[in-house]
Amino acid sequence: MTTRSPQFLTLLVSAVAVSGYALWGYGSGIQRAAVHPDMIRVFNAQRTLITLHATCSGIALVSGPFQFLPGLRAWRPSLHRWLGYLYLTVGVGIGGVSGLLLAFTAYGGLVSAAGFSLLAALWLFTGVHALLAAKQKDFELHRIWMTRNYALTFAGVTIRIYLGLFFASGLKFEEFYPSLAWLCWVPNLILVEWWLLPGRNRQNP
């Protein structure tokens, strides 16, 4: 992957777009995004956590694609490490903890709460394992855990894709939203696990 490759550009452009929207809609402590009235009440009650989650998750989304550039790892290893710590500590660490706390107030009841809780827990779990592998200088294992982790980070993008598709289908928000708590990350993780299967003829991400 290079800075001009379609994979990198797709990841980066979509990450910047979603992060910018999240920061505009929630990250300043002011509710600007058009959401369900019940979600506005949650925002007013959880303003600090939502602002933290939107800001830190946005940092993870935007910094993540740069971690998969072999050129950056080879030519600027100190920058790769710095971005990695920013991604894992601020992005995944703070974003994941705040997301886990917020999951219990998610719109859609138990189905939504369970889906978003498991997403946040796995996000933190894979992030810790990625960091431990790097500390142990097992860089191949580090790459594998980081790939899994960013697939979960990318749920911030895929949930908005599904939102658009479901709205376009004519379904009501309350009918489809609980399913998004699972759809936004389970297919991502399945795809990445397939990508990481041993013996596949592929380039490293």
Give the model's confidence band at 121: pLDDT under 50 very low, under 70 low, under 90 confident, else very high: very high
The separation between the first and the last C-alpha atoms of the chain, rounded to the nearest angstrom, is 6
Give pLDDT, residue 5: 83
Task: Please indicate whether residue 111 or residue 30 has the higher confidence score (pLDDT).
Answer: 111
Domain count, the chain: 1
Give pLDDT, residue 105: 92
Where would I find the H helices in the chain? 6-22, 37-45, 47-63, 70-75, 77-85, 95-103, 109-135, 139-153, 155-169, 173-183, 186-195
Render pLDDT for 53-102 as a digit per residue (tens, 0 to 9).
Answer: 999 999 999 999 999 888 888 888 889 999 999 999 999 999 999 999 99
Give the model's confidence band at 187: pLDDT under 50 very low, under 70 low, under 90 confident, else very high: very high
User: Does the pLDDT at position 47 exceed 70?
Assistant: yes
Residue 160 lies in a domain: yes
Percent of the chain with pLDDT over 70: 96
Render pLDDT for 131-140 as a digit per residue (tens, 0 to 9).
Answer: 999 999 999 9
Output the CA–CA distances (angstroms, integers) from residue 146 to 27, 86, 102, 107, 133, in the order listed. 25, 13, 24, 29, 10
Residue 200 lies in a domain: no
Residue 147 lies in a domain: yes
Give pLDDT, residue 45: 86
The stretch 118-139 carries a mean pLDDT of 96
Give the model's confidence band at 199: pLDDT under 50 very low, under 70 low, under 90 confident, else very high: low
Residue 100 lies in a domain: yes
Render pLDDT for 145-186 as a digit per residue (tens, 0 to 9).
Answer: 999 999 999 999 999 999 999 999 999 999 999 999 999 999
User: Does the pLDDT at position 204 exceed 60?
Assistant: no
Name the residue range of residue 59's domain.
6-195
Residue 67 lies in a domain: yes
The pTM for the full model equals 0.90
Residue 54 lies in a domain: yes
Percent of the chain with pLDDT over 90: 68
CA separation for the pair 78, 130 (Å, rounded): 17
Residue 202 lies in a domain: no
Tell me 5's DSSP state: S
